[in-house]
Structure 1
């Protein structure tokens, strides 16, 4: 009898642990899935679609290794940034300022040779990436509504970005949930469109898998690697 009671107690303990672990996973999924979907928009925007379609139409499957390599680098950098934010609670820009703004020695030297050039480079990178998203969204609107001019699409895209940002701070408050649901709906729509398009395309899977293998063709032209 004591042995049976001990076995029953162990089974109950394992069941309790599994139940607690399940609730913990669901809690974190509910809390962080929306933020993850918002971050995933960077890979679903029309700018990326336009570049990928152009590269595919010109080079076929031969640049898929570059896509794979870029994805691995992106995952690595994002994991590092996520760990930094989770541990410290502040973003990378704040870290840069804390590290370089008030140095005990050579303060102005660190500011003018480290912090300020870093800020300028970051702004240039932000503008360069956002320009692709802005033009990609404008082109997408022009494709959906042929009567629109490109500059009309640019203005509409800029307005809807300002409108979404005006819904609330993405880090606090109830409007965040609305923002996350809106982005999730857009991502789901893009995913459905992607599935429909892929289902209608006759993919040569042998060539597609071969594209993930590094080849001399990737480095045969600077334009290939750039795309």
Structure 2
């Protein structure tokens, strides 16, 4: 972990985000690095078989894939499948391709510069701008935490009959989950996340087999249909799917955790690390594509094909699954996957919160304290809304959390694309012109659709 690691603050395109550490802003000992407690803690073999190098870099991609299948995405996928059948599978595919590109850019920034996205913002923007970006990002993390609390509370209610308020309060105890896992090493943390992802994948594989959707209809669903644009309701749900896909905190998270690998800090070493880390994230996001598509396919084949075209709530889907599929365990598997999704999202959101606070403010507080504060802020509105409006209120609260995430997304995507497009900041690792054009197109589409989703939600 003590391997010298010169930061890119000494490059002409960057100013130092680390006051008091010398003229170049880097201490070269990892203490000012992103997540210093696990910085360069994972050994990368020199040469050898490709499989060993692939496995050394495998892990971070699966951690960020969690954000693409968190409880906030479930409602939109269920609504899309029950209302429009397989039509919106093309939208899930498109949004996933966008996510693959943005996460690849996040990998490139972290490995090429030695900065995570929050540190890069601190090294580029003024203090007022950085403070505004930090506030926006913290709001997004709280909104993400809100979705996790609701999702986990609903899962506990469905599995064990625990009231929503009690379930929300129970989620406070997972504040210590990340602390326990981190103490065992970053590889153990990655293994925990991957294990829960496997649980989710197995649960939905069983449900797809039970649903037995028509293969031809599923394949046609991945081909864009004019109905997505001409049908106003379909367009609105499509916007919701795209708007809820790219999680802003994932861009901060990914640019940091790729630096847990002890790759050589030469141009050749960084180039090799970027290649393997990009492969890792691409494969992981293909798993996320499978999960999101599986949710929509199960909803389409189970609800839409049976005439239930207005299923929009997670609890309603749980109650209908087993009777319609004729498989008693189907609803239980659905709720188990939701619980695994909520627990996984808790881990990654906590890490993202630490990265954002340290990157923007250079402020470090104990992980358990930060976790309790963030989780407490998320639990209070869930308890209050549930007490006043009942279970229906949590559905609206879940929608609100996605709107808040949509509001923050431009503040993460635009700086990321701007940094990796700047040759002064990236040097030899600047993205090619065609990738730059594609990245700005993707950023424009995502931001425009999120703005429309926000306006439509506010105006009813």
Where on the TM-score scale, by shorter chain, does this alignment land: which range? 0.7 to 0.9
The 3 A distance-change label for structure 1 pair 168 and 181 is closer
Structure 1, 62-71 or 43-52: larger mean CA deviation: 43-52
CA contact (8 A) 1:46 1:133 kept: yes
1:81 to 106, 113, 125: 106
Could you tell me how far apart the structure 2 residues matched to 1:165 and 1:40 are? 17
| Partner residue in 1 for 2:236 | 223
**Separation in 2, partners of 1:154, 1:88:** 40
Deviation at 1:98?
0.7
Conserved 8 A contact 1:38-1:180: yes
Identify unmatched segments of 5+ residues in structure 1.
1-19, 102-110
Equivalent position of 1:157 in the other structure = 171
Separation in 1, partners of 2:145, 2:210? 31
The correspondence of residues 47-126 of structure 1 with structure 2, limited to 5 A, is 47-101=72-126, 111-112=127-128, 114-126=129-141
Deviation track 1:47-75 (CA, whole Å, cap 9, x = no partner) reads 33343223211221111121111101111
TM-score (norm 2): 0.39
* Aligned with 1:140 (options 114, 132, 155): 155
Name whichever structure is richer in helix by fraction: 1
1:35 and 1:45 map into 2 onto residues whose CA distance is 16
Report the equivalent of 2:61: 36
Does residue 198 of structure 2 align to residue 188 of structure 1? yes
Aligned to 1:212: 222
Contact 2:76 2:237 survives alignment (8 Å): no
The CA RMSD over aligned residues, in Å, is 2.3
Look at both structures and tell me which one has the larger radius of gyration over its CA atoms. Answer: 1
Partner Cα separation in structure 2 for residue 47 and residue 142 of structure 1: 17
Q: Distance in 1 between matches of 2:92 and 2:202?
A: 21
Secondary structure of 1:72's partner?
Answer: helix
Q: Which residue of 2 aligns with 1:8?
A: none
Conserved? CA contact 1:137–1:154, under 8 Å: yes
* Aligned partners of 1:45 and 1:137 also within 8 Å: no
Asked whether the equivalents of residues 167 and 179 of structure 1 are also in contact (C-alpha less than 8 Å), the reply is: no
Q: Tell me what 1:25 maps to.
A: 50
Aligned residue number for residue 374 of structure 2: none
Unpaired runs of 5+ in structure 2?
1-45, 242-460
Quote the offset at 1:139 in angstroms: 1.2
> When the two structures are aligned, how many residues end up with a matched partner?
192
Provide runs of 4+ in structure 1 moved above 6 Å.
none
Shift of 1:211: 1.9
Give the CA deviation at 1:149.
1.1
Q: Structure 1 residues 152 and 25, CA, compared in 2 at 3 Å: closer, same or farther? A: farther
Is the deviation greater in 137-146 or in 215-224? 215-224
Asked whether the 8 Å contact 1:44–1:190 carries over to 2, the reply is no
Alpha-carbon distance change, 25 to 154 in structure 1, aligned in 2, over 3 angstroms:
farther
Alpha carbons 2:181, 2:188 under 8 Å: kept: no
Checking the alignment, whether the CA contact within 8 Å between 1:139 and 1:150 is kept in structure 2 is: yes
Describe the shift of the 1:67–1:82 C-alpha distance in structure 2 as closer, same or farther (beyond 3 A): same
